[in-house]
């Protein structure tokens, strides 16, 4: 433990002792004397690092050593990445609805690299329960869906599978 940590712990200790003493002391002369001593000790402990600080000899090295103090929670990262895919799927459903294809079932499969960047592997769209706008009734719904998905997600056509 370095000097900075010891100083903080000393302040906390004196404050705690002073609080406990305050609880049990009465308003007699002895109680007032003990309070004065506690207050004086607290002030002395608080100002004790000032000479080192003014001379420039104080060091804060080692206070925030986090190199070995953390580890990555892979389950949480997987949870967040899956939520990102769910949000992308929902946004794609909205885009398709705005283009006249309602109730499309969208499933996006992807992988993440070590930097957290997503690579879309495949986009599956089930149109079996979808409703096509009557203005689009003579258009190939599979090709239209594939075109909108590739344009929205900026991926290759081969990665989009439309069925149903």
String of DSSP letters for 81-142: HHHHHHHHHHHHHHHHHHTTEES-EEEEEEEE-TTS-EEEEEEEEE-TT-EE-GGGTTS-HH
Radius of gyration of the chain (CA): 33
Under 8 Å between Cβ of 107 and 123: yes
Burial of 132 (0-12, 13-18, 19+ CB in 10 A): middle
164: confidence class by pLDDT, cuts 50, 70, 90:
confident
Domain count for the chain, please give it. 2
Q: Which domain holds residue 7?
A: 3-55
Structural domain contains residue 61: no
What is the average pLDDT across 63-89?
A: 79
* Residues 102 and 150 grouped into a single domain: yes
DSSP state of 49: T
- Alpha-carbon span 131 to 93, nearest angstrom: 12
**Model pLDDT for residues 127-137, shown as the tens digit of each residue:** 888 887 777 77
Q: What is the CATH number of the domain that holds 81?
A: 3.30.300
Structural domain contains residue 42: yes
Give the count of alpha carbons within 13 A of 28, CB side only.
4
**Model pLDDT for residues 29-74, shown as the tens digit of each residue:** 888 888 888 888 888 888 887 777 777 766 655 555 556 666 777 8
Structural domain contains residue 139: yes
Q: Residue 94 above 90 pLDDT?
A: yes
Partnered with residue 162 across adjacent β-strands are 125
Q: Return the pLDDT at 7.
A: 80
Mean pLDDT estimate for the chain:
83
Structural domain contains residue 68: no
90: confidence class by pLDDT, cuts 50, 70, 90:
very high
105: confidence class by pLDDT, cuts 50, 70, 90:
very high
């Amino acid at each position: 433990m370095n000097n900075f940590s010891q100083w903080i712990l000393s302040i906390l200790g004196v404050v705690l002792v002073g609080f406990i003493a305050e609880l049990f002391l009465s308003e007699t002369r002895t109680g007032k004397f003990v309070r004065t001593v506690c207050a004086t000790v607290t002030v002395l402990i608080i100002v004790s690092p000032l000479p080192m600080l003014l001379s420039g000899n104080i060091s804060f090295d080692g206070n925030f050593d986090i190199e070995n103090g953390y580890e990555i929670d892979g389950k949480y990262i997987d949870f967040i990445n899956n939520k990102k895919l769910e949000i992308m799927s929902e946004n794609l459903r909205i885009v398709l609805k705005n283009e006249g294809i309602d109730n499309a079932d969208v499933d996006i499969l992807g992988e993440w690299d070590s930097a957290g960047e997503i690579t879309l592997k495949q986009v599956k769209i089930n149109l079996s329960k979808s409703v096509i706008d009557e203005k689009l009734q003579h258009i190939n719904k599979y090709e239209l869906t594939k075109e909108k998905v590739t344009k929205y997600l900026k991926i290759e056509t081969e990665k989009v599978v439309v069925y149903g």
